[in-house]
Structure 1
Amino acid sequence: MRHLGLLHDIKGSSAVEFAMVVPIFLALVFSTLEGGWMMTRSILLSRALDETVRLIRVGDPSAPKDHATMKKALCARTLIVRDCEHTILIEMKEIKLAADVPTTAAKCVDRAATVQPTTNFSTGSRGSIMYVRACIVSDPIVPLMGLVLKFEKDGKGGYHQTAVSTFMNEPGA
């Protein structure tokens, strides 16, 4: 009979409510932060790609001529990507026909693999239409929560972010 009194006792009821509500609230807060951070990275990657491509498009003498210098130029403009030169893969190819536009997903670095995928890289000729895409691999802030669970990941849990640009090299003499 003494235990029946416990059913009417309200001490600790707020702890139960707290334990039920706080994890949901924290998941919402961390997912919002993760989404904002992902968007910031994505926008900065797109901006860096556009700025780097502009040099190639107008035929600037300081424009990147190969994959390695393109990586360096792009990473110099992408401010918040950690270890950029080892986590980015750039593909650039000339488009002559509509069928030349890639329909597959962008190739990304797999940090768990020893051999990385190869990509096409050509700066094209004057007046040619070029297609370029860059893929970075980023580690999530909170790996087991929210938005990140839905993204394709590499072998070490990093998710892929891609920026794409199409441009026409300026016709020149």
Structure 2
Amino acid sequence: MLRKTRRHWAERAAQREFGKDSRGSTAVEFAIVAPVFLMVMFSIFEVGWFFFANSVVDATVGDAARRIKTGQVQKSFGDMDDKYDDMFADICNVLDTFGDCDDRLTIEVDTFDSFTTLAADNTPATCADAPPDDLAAIPFNPGDELQIVRVRICYLYRTLNPAIGLNLAEPGTNKRRLISTAIFRNEPYELNNRDDD
């Protein structure tokens, strides 16, 4: 009986010592907090990078619209395919920061007779993941002086870490469509280049 009592008290003393021992508590706390902290950090980085990409797409559509509005595209050398290729290359030079844009970028430029006609057009933007027939039908018509023009860019943004933290991808993919649109009336750019008599 005495042996059982001594063993019982020895076990109790060991449990008290174990309870007082704080070695390893930091590792346990880190193991609990680290996954949540890392998920929050990756989510913040993902959201920041996403908004940066979105603002770059907006800036590129603004630049493309300016070039069309002032007649730079219309007056450049080559046929419409050459003009489209030049604009595509210029935009890709900027968007390549987010990955190769050859299979992720579409540029749609179309003209309208009036703003009423434009408002009635509710066709969605065609992105690079559309069927080939839809991609072939994307218009590139920068128009003439004083015509109403809509420039739409669709860029397929690949999310950085879809499995960790905040997932910005569309369901079933690891991509998000970034669509930016500019609507304007072309300037009378030919008038600005005529010589006075």
TM range (shorter): 0.7 to 0.9
Q: Unaligned stretches of 5+ in structure 1?
A: none
**TM-score, with length taken from structure 1:** 0.77
2-structure distance, mates of 1:90, 1:43: 17
Aligned-partner SS, 1:132: strand
Does residue 44 in structure 1 map to residue 56 in structure 2? yes
Q: Please state how far the C-alpha of 1:34 moved relative to its aligned partner.
A: 1.3
Q: How many percent of aligned residue pairs carry the same amino acid?
A: 27
Alignment of 1:90 with 2:81, yes or no, is no
Stretches of 4+ aligned residues off by more than 6 angstroms: none
Aligned to 1:55: 67
* 8 A Cα contact 1:132 1:166, kept in partner: yes
State how 1:145-160 maps to structure 2 within 5 Å: 145-147=164-166, 149-152=167-170, 155=173, 157-160=174-177
1:68 alignment counterpart:
85
Larger radius of gyration between Structure 1 and Structure 2: 2
Q: TM-score, normalised by structure 2?
A: 0.69
1:31 counterpart = 2:43: yes
SS at match of 2:163: coil
| Greater CA drift, 23-32 or 7-16 | 7-16
2:15: which partner in 1? 5
Partner in structure 1 of residue 185 of structure 2:
168
Q: Could you tell me how far apart the structure 2 residues matched to 1:161 and 1:34 are?
A: 15
Bigger helix share: 2
Would you say the 8 A contact 1:65–1:123 is kept in 2?
A: no
Unmatched 5+ residue regions in structure 2?
1-7, 192-197
2:3 aligned partner: none
**Alignment of 1:106 onto 2:125:** yes
Distance (Å, rounded) in 2 between the aligned partners of 1:154 and 1:52? 31
State the superposition RMSD in angstroms: 3.1
Q: Deviation of residue 130 (structure 1)?
A: 1.0
Provide the rounded CA distance (Å) in 1 between the counterparts of 2:32 and 2:133: 45
CA distance in 2, matches of 1:128, 1:144: 46
- Once residues 107 and 154 of structure 1 are traced to their aligned partners in structure 2, the CA distance between those partners, rounded to angstroms, is 18
